[in-house]
Amino acid sequence: MLMEEKLVVKELEKGKELANQLMNNFKNPSSSSKDSNEVLISEILRCFENTIARMMSLEKKTLKRSHERSNQSNKKSRMLEKKKTENVKICVGTGQEGTPLDDGHCWRKYGQKDIHGSKNPRGYYRCTHRFTRGCLAVKQVQKSDINPMCYEVKYVESHTCDITPSTTKHSLPVSQEEERKLHDAKQCEDTMKHMKPEELRLSIEDLDYKKDIFRTFSFSNPEMDDDFVEWKDLMENLSPTTSESGITNEFHISPTDDSCFSSLENILGSTQDLSWM
DNA sequence: CTTATTTGACCAAT
DNA sequence: ATTGGTCAAATAAG
């Protein structure tokens, strides 16, 4: 039996147990309150919802596996299944091995892959509530080759588990100094120029949201503008010993958008192969 | 115990 | 055959 099938059974058993409790409450009205009955009923309903959600995801999976390609109609379903993705570049300003993964949602790692052409492996994460709430959110995190403090994060699908995450409990302790440095940092939104209007809107909202949570910033590929000279200097001064200064930058690394990147790569040529991890 | 991560196997797409 | 993505058993952490 598959894991998810076991979970479905478990959920149903839980529902049965709750229903039994409710039955007992009705048999002995003296030992139960109206409130506790209501609680039981809502829990039973919750069990139904969970079970349905699990069955849906299970069916999706089996359909995908066994049937997908042999059927002609799958072209349609494949079109419908097209996933929403969003790429975000994240820089961690703490310098140390903080978790750049803490974006306020609960993620569970389910895989890691070495990516051809990249030094660093890509981690695959899914929402912790995938099975309990059928949340399909997934993300991929890969440390930047150029700047080990930067991560490329790709979000696939958005969260349907609308639980408000406990950002307070685990929020990163950021020292005053680090905070100041991060304040000095700038965010470049030039990437937006390359995006469609609807993506642009989403992205701005999302970046602002994540910026708040991470206390980091995102720095996309700049054009040859005033800023460039400034942080070219910064990058040239980068060295293994000064790299923890909290200066963080991110480059937009994309096969279709590499003109600036290649020049930056030249600039960084002397520093990027230093292993300081 | 339960829950999370690691990691090689597996699969689909190219 | 190669690659990127996912699964799941083994293992670690809590």
Residue A249, classified by CB atoms within 10 Å of its CB into exposed (0-12), middle (13-18) or buried (19+), is buried
**Ranges of each domain in chain A:** 3-78, 85-271
Q: Which of chain A's residues 150-189 bind strand C, using a 7 Å CB cutoff?
A: 156
The end-to-end CA distance of chain A, in Å, is: 42
Ramachandran area for residue A134 (φ above 0: left; ψ -120 to 50: alpha; else beta):
left
Residue carrying the six token digits 């059927």? A71
Residue A103 identity: D
Cα angle at A48 between A46 and A51, to 5 degrees? 110
The DSSP-derived string for A75-101 is HHHHHHTPPPEEEEEEE-TT-SS--TT
Confidence band, pLDDT 50/70/90 cuts, at residue A237? very low
How many residues in chain A?
277
Q: Which nucleotides of B are covered by protein (CB under 7 A)?
A: 4-9, 11-13
- Report the alpha-carbon distance of residue A78 to residue A44 in Å, rounded: 35
Structure tokens at A6: 């076991």
Ramachandran area for residue A215 (φ above 0: left; ψ -120 to 50: alpha; else beta):
left
Half-sphere exposure of A141 (CA within 13 A, CB side): 21
Cα angle at A95 between A92 and A99, to 5 degrees? 50
The arithmetic mean of pLDDT across residues A184-210, rounded, is 38
Q: Could you tell me whether strands A150-156 and A85-91 are parallel, antiparallel, or unpaired per DSSP bridges?
A: antiparallel
Interval A128-161: pLDDT, tens = 988 887 888 999 999 888 887 788 888 887 777 7
Task: Output the pLDDT for position A82.
Answer: 55
Interval A42-69: pLDDT, tens = 888 877 777 776 666 666 656 555 554 4
Task: Lowest mean pLDDT of A21-30, A37-46, A52-61, name the range.
Answer: A52-61
Quickly give A182 CA vs C9 C1' distance in Å. Answer: 43
Structure tokens at A16: 């049965």
Q: Is the CB of A117 under 7 A from strand C?
A: yes
Q: How many CB atoms lie within 10 A of CB A117?
A: 7
Name the 3-class secondary structure at A112.
Answer: strand
Structure tokens at A7: 């979970």
Residue A175 identity: S
The residues of the protein lying within 7 Å (CB) of strand B read A 65, 68-69, 106-113, 123, 128
